[in-house]
Structure 1
Amino acid sequence: MLPLLTCCLFLLYSLYHVFAAAGSSSSHQYAPRSYPVVGCLVDFYWNRRRLLGWYTGLLAASPSRTIVVDRLGARRTVVTANPANVEHMLRGNFGNYPKGKPFTDVLGDLLGGGIFNVDGERWYAQRKLMSHEFSARVLRRVVGAALEREARAGLVPALDAAAASGAVVDMQELLRQFAFNVICRVSLGAKDPGCIELALPLSRLAAAFDAAAAISARRGAAPVAAAWKVKRALGVGSERQLRDELKVIHDAIMEFIRGSREKRPAGRDRDDLLSRMAAAGYPDEAIRDMMVSFIMAGRDTTSSALTWFFWLMTLHRDVEREVRDEVNACMRDHQEGFGVDLECSRKMRVLHAALCETMRLYPPVAWDSKHAAEDDVLPDGTRVGRGDRVTYFPYGMGRMESIWGADACEFKPRRWLTLHPDGVSPFKYPVFQAGPRTCLGKEMAFAQMKFVASAVLHQFDLRPVAEDTPVFVPLLTAHMAGGLKVTVRRRPPQQHNGTCAI
């Protein structure tokens, strides 16, 4: 396979220079350089390890904030950072922009028929069922309790131990473990009284999710999709590893589902998602796929945002002081130092602004794609053909001066405190999507992030080990390359009267 790849690259390199003499098919500096037959494949290949920066630069230079990426071996792709186009896709002409078969092919092995990998009636039915998971009652009773238990069992003791020993801790990994355990409690009821345990350690299941998500993301980023499809058919390389990791995930969750169905005490009213799906008559495989989707979304998005949040706090100590002052005023339990409750967290405007600003610059999902069911024309005049991929780009949108002003690339949480009461349009800030597919877990995500931020900042000071700017890696959900290594120092106890002062 390697000799074949070498030959292909040599051919592309030769074609590049042949057609370069003839000139690009587009004279605009903001468009990817494109040539007959190969399209912009050569430019795409050379920029494949810096697609975020490449796309952002092209979009910023484009008058319409939209570019077309047309390359050999892949379907035509429209990439946009234009809010009007995003609104058209996600609301105005929603029915014409489903996930589409190309998306479900890439993620089908991992997500199966779960809510993030289906369209139409199957998506609507699952969304309706899942909406119960994010009611205020469930957030208070189930999510709040899960956050408290995991903070008590893992997060705070781990930071305490690091502070006492002077050891370096990887905050990204610690936050991912915390979020994974919380979402397993919420979705599966795992570790809760009256519920069976998973058959393997959560750490092994989490590792399987990590590997499967990374390989699935590389499928989507492959210059030529046929490469991973051939590897999957032959059962070799990364595709063999993906198959093995998926077996770990599927076997563990299926065993849990069956055991939970058999061993749940008679007459016990359980309120986790698994129980409600079973009561609704879903077969075990459908429940499994929903659990996989729910765990993937609930674990990686919040931990990604919090990792970048804590790193930005180490760079902007003035903002950190403001956030900490607000946290100290709202903390309800200074003796044990766990996070703020749901009601108080809703009043924390400074922390909320800092989290929003973090996700503007470092969104947990850097881009999202739909596939046009029929021909269309976007509001900026860009033609979309049937089957074209249309990608909206939260990472790039967060850096557009046309949306955020001349200081778009700067971390300034106060911009969120001066907004209109209705806030910023979700089509300018599509971190939680928008329209009918708006993220159901938005409030849950903010509750979890505020809980963790308050628990950590109230008790601890974090200092990064490295001074270099971390690398943002946009897999299915983004992460920080190499993690966030910090040293930890415990803060002195704070005096308060037990009430929220905001």
Structure 2
Amino acid sequence: MIQRPGGVRGIITANPSNVEHILRANFQNYPKGERFSFLLHDFLGRGILNTDGELWKMQRKAASYEFNTKSLRNFVVEAVQWEIKNRLMAVLKNACERGEVIELQDVLMRFAFDNICKVAFGVDPGCLHPSLPRSQFAEAFNDATGISAGRFFSSVPFLWRIKKMLDIGSEKRLREAISVVDEFVMDIIRSRRSEISEGHLREDLLSRFMAAAISDLDQLETECDKNGSQKMAMVSEKSELFVRDMMVSFMMAGRDTTSTALTWFFWLISSRPHIQEAIRREILLVKGNRNSITVEPEDQWVVFDFDELKGMQYLHAALCESMRLWPPVPVDTKVAATDDVLPDGTVVPRGWFVSYSIYSMGRMESIWGGDFMDFRPERWLKDGEFVGENPYKFTVFQAGPRICLGKEMAFIQMKSIVASVIHRFSLEVDSEYVPKYAMSITLRMKTGLPVNVKSR
């Protein structure tokens, strides 16, 4: 049993049977809970990451439909390919030619932010421009995320509420950051609403959700009475705010996770040249199946389509093995709605939090065997083909009804980046550099990952 500041009690488990019970078998009894929603409400509102019950189900249903469309998948692939060819490779090439050390975690976070903005909103903030410019929106989003998460880690519960009431310190910065985010997002929503009303539909998530929302509003309009115009204005405003909450949730979910996973991955393989060579052999095999296998000039960086990425089984295994040891989100927490008993006999009183440690589960001999601390992609392969693990044993993407909708999107981005980068460059890390964990919802490196870029 653990007691957090403020008298909040709960347990932490690393038992796959308990995790399956929490995430699937007794899913309805383990929502995120009011405390979680309360702490993040200022930033996330009623978005899919911050809700339970019917509101969550409705958003999940709408999002599931869009995330499973081939058109969105193709849009994601094209967005990732463009960012690699026009931004990422240029940044690495410049660092290579100048002999400069670059901070890879920052580069990957910039990539992820550009990409999620394109996929979510159809806009390009240009964070990964070769000059690595500052972005007011990106900085505001980062501040809002970090300060909101900091509410969970405060040693003095509700100190943040006093700061918020007085509009001082971190809460003042949070208010200012959210204001910047809201202005940016709401301007796009209103502009997109006008475009859709005129029959112009883009491929990004916002356009897809807005099209559905406008359809619902049109239906409501036909049912309004003589005061309908006023009612419609209220409904429209609420609809726009609701879409805002959904989109901010998707951005938060997709921004830090892939960049964090890739940072640890590149750190891991930097000291394992045999892993790098195995990945390069697979890349050459995939390229060999193209019509031409001639070496491309440097201004024509190699990118890969969806089918080619799907064929990179060893790379997929290596990424999973990296996330097993260094999961982007190390722990997740639910709250017991009613008294319960976990499969291992642990009694969970109503109102207690129940956390499961993804980080610990990836490092247990009882789950992974005697070589549990070895970085061995082969454990995920059988006859050269990737074989997935029990999702309640490997819970990086959650499991059950709340399993990550963006899982395929995440692998598209991660595999695309690794394949294109490792094909042209070697990223070298000082052998004496030891990363430290940042206090955050995601397992970021506290001081980033400095690398030397060498051409191949």
Contact 2:141 2:177 in 1 (8 A): yes
Q: Residue 267 of structure 1: which of 199, 202, 206 is its match?
A: 199
Q: Corresponding residue for 1:472? A: 437
Distance 1:216 1:372 in 2: 23
Match of 1:472, SS state, is coil
Q: Structure 1: 5+ residue runs without aligned partners?
A: 1-67, 193-200, 492-502
Distance 1:150 1:425, change over 3 A: same
Contact 2:381 2:387 in 1 (8 A): no
What are the within-5 Å matches in structure 2 for residues 148-297 of structure 1? Answer: 148-191=81-124, 203-263=135-195, 266-281=198-213, 283-297=239-253
Distance 1:405 1:475, change over 3 A: same
Q: Residue 463 of structure 1: which of 406, 428, 449 is its match?
A: 428
- Superposed CA deviations along residues 384-440 of structure 1, whole A, max 9, x for unmatched, are 111110001101111111111222222121111149976311101110000001111
- Superposed CA deviations along residues 249-296 of structure 1, whole A, max 9, x for unmatched, are 111111111122224583223232212222222711111111111111
Q: Residue 439 of structure 1: which of 400, 404, 419 is its match?
A: 404
Contact 2:335 2:354 in 1 (8 A): yes
Distance 2:197 2:420 in 1: 35
Q: Corresponding residue for 2:217? A: none
Match of 1:478, SS state, is coil
Letter in 2 for 1:330: V
Q: Residue 258 of structure 2: which of 296, 299, 302 is its match?
A: 302
Q: Corresponding residue for 1:146? A: 79
Q: Which runs of 4+ in 1 moved over 3 A?
A: 331-334, 418-422
* Aligned CA-pair RMSD: 2.0
- Superposed CA deviations along residues 127-178 of structure 1, whole A, max 9, x for unmatched, are 1111233225135420011011111221011011111111111111111111
- Superposed CA deviations along residues 431-480 of structure 1, whole A, max 9, x for unmatched, are 00000011111111111100000110001111114622201225122211
- Is 1:398 aligned with 2:362? yes
Q: Corresponding residue for 1:342? A: 306
Q: Residue 374 of structure 1: which of 325, 331, 338 is its match?
A: 338
Equivalences, count: 416
Distance 1:72 1:108, change over 3 A: closer
Distance 2:391 2:244 in 1: 31
Q: Corresponding residue for 1:24? A: none
Q: Tell me by how many angstroms 1:350 deviates.
A: 1.0
What are the within-5 Å matches in structure 2 for residues 12-23 of structure 1? Answer: none
Q: Corresponding residue for 1:430? A: 395
Distance 1:277 1:133 in 2: 8
Distance 2:203 2:142 in 1: 28
- Is 1:490 aligned with 2:455? yes
- Superposed CA deviations along residues 228-256 of structure 1, whole A, max 9, x for unmatched, are 22222222211111111111111111111
Letter in 2 for 1:283: S
Distance 2:197 2:80 in 1: 25
Q: Could you tell which deviates more after superposition, 421-430 or 349-358?
A: 421-430
Contact 1:397 1:429 in 2 (8 A): yes
Distance 1:369 1:485, change over 3 A: same
Q: Tell me by how many angstroms 1:186 deviates.
A: 0.9
Distance 1:210 1:486 in 2: 23
TM (norm. structure 1) is 0.79
Distance 1:437 1:144, change over 3 A: same
- Is 1:76 aligned with 2:9? yes
Distance 2:103 2:45 in 1: 32
Contact 1:353 1:414 in 2 (8 A): yes
Q: Could you tell which deviates more after superposition, 395-404 or 224-233?
A: 224-233
Distance 1:69 1:327, change over 3 A: same
Contact 1:362 1:472 in 2 (8 A): no
Contact 1:367 1:392 in 2 (8 A): yes
Q: Structure 2: 5+ residue runs without aligned partners?
A: 126-132, 214-237
Match of 2:256, SS state, is helix
Q: Corresponding residue for 1:329? A: 285
Letter in 2 for 1:480: M
Distance 1:218 1:133, change over 3 A: same
TM (norm. structure 2) is 0.87
- Is 1:128 aligned with 2:66? no
Identity %: 48
Contact 1:177 1:203 in 2 (8 A): no
Match of 2:426, SS state, is strand
Match of 1:225, SS state, is coil
